[in-house]
């Protein structure tokens, strides 16, 4: 998790993917976390690598000031991730 995680709505985490996909910070729905391994400093997600790669990028200067950005993020998760158990219902 990244230092900005406390700056976004509680339903998302800001995750720094590191060198895995060129150091991109993405927004991940908090409900996608299946396990946190503190020793290994890793999150286990109910998402594929492709889904994480395609996740919306976190833009720190837009998340509070730009309502359209927040609406686009919400729309992305409502339509893109129809997981069993309601993962698509953000």
What confidence score (pLDDT) does residue 83 get? 54
* End-to-end Cα separation, the chain, in angstroms: 20
What confidence score (pLDDT) does residue 82 get? 60
What confidence score (pLDDT) does residue 37 get? 94
Alpha-carbon span 14 to 3, nearest angstrom: 8
Is pTM beyond 0.85? Reply is no
Q: What is the residue extent of each domain of the chain?
A: 3-80
Angle at 87 between CA 54 and CA 15, to 5 degrees: 45
In the chain (90 residues long), the average pLDDT of successive 10-residue segments reads 46 78 80 91 84 84 81 80 50
What confidence score (pLDDT) does residue 35 get? 93
What confidence score (pLDDT) does residue 90 get? 41
Are 26 and 17 spatial neighbours (Cβ–Cβ below 8 Å)? yes
């Amino acid at each position: 998790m990244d230092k900005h995680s406390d700056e976004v709505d509680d339903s998302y985490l800001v995750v720094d993917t590191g060198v895995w996909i060129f150091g991109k910070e993405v927004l991940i729905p908090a409900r996608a976390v299946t396990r946190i391994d503190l020793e290994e400093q890793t999150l286990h997600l109910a998402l594929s690598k492709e889904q994480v790669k395609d996740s919306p990028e976190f833009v720190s200067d837009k998340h509070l000031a730009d309502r359209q950005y927040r609406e686009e993020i919400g729309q992305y998760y409502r339509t893109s991730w129809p997981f069993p158990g309601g993962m698509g219902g953000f």
